[in-house]
């Protein structure tokens, strides 16, 4: 195990910048191959190092983004969906163009659906898992 995996708090400035850029590019929808090529050129490191960042992200991403718990992650996601909804709602109310209004409605609908998935589905899956475990033991209580 290398130093990077055991001591995520000891990170160089270039490494920190590279990882922040990785998250940004991934959030913008770039593929892993595109991100690796871009970051290895930009930061003058090997492609293998960027792939290693992807492989070890379970160690550094929560630290980097200050995620202490699932609830904090969920709160950030919910806040982002609400912000997207508000911005789309503002466009819907202030635009005079029908195409923009339709686009805003579409975004609002998607944000509502994603918000529902983020908040409700984990609870449903948790309950389903408990039922599956009980069924596997031969104990089934509805």
The whole-angstrom separation of Cα 125 and Cα 142 is 15
Residue 141: inside a domain, yes or no? no
Give residue 135's pLDDT: 82
> Is there a single domain that holds both residue 87 and residue 121?
yes
What is the rounded distance in angstroms from the CA atom of residue 31 to the CA atom of residue 25? 8
**46 and 75 inside one domain:** no
Rounded CA gap, 141 and 131, in Å? 8
Residue 132: give the domain boundaries.
70-136
What is the band of 85 on the pLDDT scale with cuts at 50, 70, 90?
very high
Name the more confident of 95 and 24: 95
**Same-domain pairing of 60 and 7:** yes
Instruction: Give the pLDDT of residue 45.
Output: 93
Q: What is the mean pLDDT of residues 83-89?
A: 92
Asked if the structure places residue 142 within a domain, the reply is no
- At 95 the pLDDT is 94
Q: For residue range 33-72, list pLDDT tens digits in order.
A: 999 999 999 999 999 999 999 999 888 887 777 765 667 7
Q: Which residue has the higher pLDDT, 109 or 16?
A: 109
Contacts 24+ apart (CB under 8 A), 2-11: 4/52, 4/56, 4/59, 4/60, 5/56, 5/59, 8/59, 8/60, 8/63, 9/63, 11/60
In a domain, 77, yes or no: yes
Q: Are residues 12 and 39 in the same domain?
A: yes
Tell me which of 23 and 119 has the higher pLDDT. 23
Phi-psi map region of 31: left, alpha, beta (phi>0 left; psi -120 to 50 alpha): beta
Q: Could you give the number of structural domains in the chain?
A: 2
């Amino acid at each position: 195990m290398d130093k990077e995996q055991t001591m995520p708090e000891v990170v160089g400035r270039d490494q920190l910048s590279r990882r922040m850029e990785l998250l940004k590019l991934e959030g913008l929808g770039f593929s892993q191959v595109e991100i690796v090529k871009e970051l290895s050129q930009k930061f003058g490191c090997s492609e293998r190092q960027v792939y290693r960042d992807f492989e070890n992200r379970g160690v550094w991403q929560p630290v980097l983004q200050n995620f202490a718990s699932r609830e904090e992650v969920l709160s950030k996601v919910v806040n982002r969906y609400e912000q997207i909804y508000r911005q789309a709602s503002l466009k819907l109310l202030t635009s005079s163009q029908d195409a923009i209004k339709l686009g805003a409605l579409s975004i609002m609908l998607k944000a509502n659906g994603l918000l529902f998935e983020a908040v409700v589905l984990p609870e449903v899956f948790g309950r389903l898992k408990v039922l599956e475990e009980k069924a596997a033991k031969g104990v089934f209580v509805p």
